[in-house]
Amino acid sequence: MCEPCALSVAADITEGKQAEEVLSTFSCRLIEAQEKERAWIARELHDDINQRVALVSVTLESLKLGLPSSEVQARCRLEETKQQVKDLGNDVQALSHRLHSSKLDYLELATACRGFCNELSERQSIEIEFASDKVPKNQSKEISLCLFPLLREALHNAVKYSGVRQFRVSLQATPNDVELSVHDSGVGFDLERQSVGTGWVSPA
């Protein structure tokens, strides 16, 4: 009399595993599609918008040099405007890298993560200690596309909200998973006031 129950439980477990596999596959495909869209936007920002901003900066410099030396005020205004345009170009380039890093297109996951940490550390004048352990060089693209954007967002949020300048990143392979952790000694989140937006959980 217990056999039908056993068969029912086995069927439930099998269906549950199948549902998990379908959901996992769908999630990976969704993340891959999002990353492709990010890559396209990043290329547009870097190859088109940023180049046009740079051209405006060069034009402003030419205008400044063409003014007579007596036009001191105009020269100063042009120099200020040129610097603002230059800063805008730097921000566009940083946004391009944040949306999509080409490192993951050519490097394995651990090397790409280490390179991003070094790049962000230099750009933000912060200290990021990176460690990886037993992460396979032939890591699946799906896992890489899941973890690399998480690392980017976690570190940017940590730099923005923690109030500290030192961070630790760990990428470690286990028999069944690859674990990513980002640590800081900052103020942390107020769990009672946190809000959920369109991205990751962030402070209110």
User: Which neighbouring-strand residues pair with 132?
Assistant: 171
Check residue 53 and give left, alpha or beta (phi > 0: left; psi -120 to 50: alpha). alpha
Place of tokens 């976690």: 154
How many CA within 13 A on the CB side of residue 142? 8
* Boundaries of every domain in the chain: 3-98, 105-202
- By the 8 A CB rule, do 161 and 188 touch? no
User: What confidence score (pLDDT) does residue 132 get?
Assistant: 92
Structure token pair of residue 168: 């630790």
Closest CA to 104 of 153, 135, 156, 145: 145
- Contacts with 45 (C-beta within 8 Å, 6 or more apart), sequence order: 92, 93, 95, 96, 99
User: What confidence score (pLDDT) does residue 171 get?
Assistant: 92
Tens of pLDDT along 129-143? Answer: 999 998 888 777 777
Looking at the domain that runs over 105-202, which CATH code has it been given?
Answer: 3.30.565.10
| pLDDT, mean of each 10-residue run, the chain (204 residues) | 49 60 63 71 77 85 82 85 84 72 73 90 91 84 80 87 91 86 76 48 38
User: What confidence score (pLDDT) does residue 204 get?
Assistant: 33
User: What confidence score (pLDDT) does residue 16 get?
Assistant: 61
Distances (CA, A) of 88 to 127, 172, 183, 194: 25, 37, 31, 31
User: What confidence score (pLDDT) does residue 199 get?
Assistant: 43
Whole-model pTM over 0.75: no
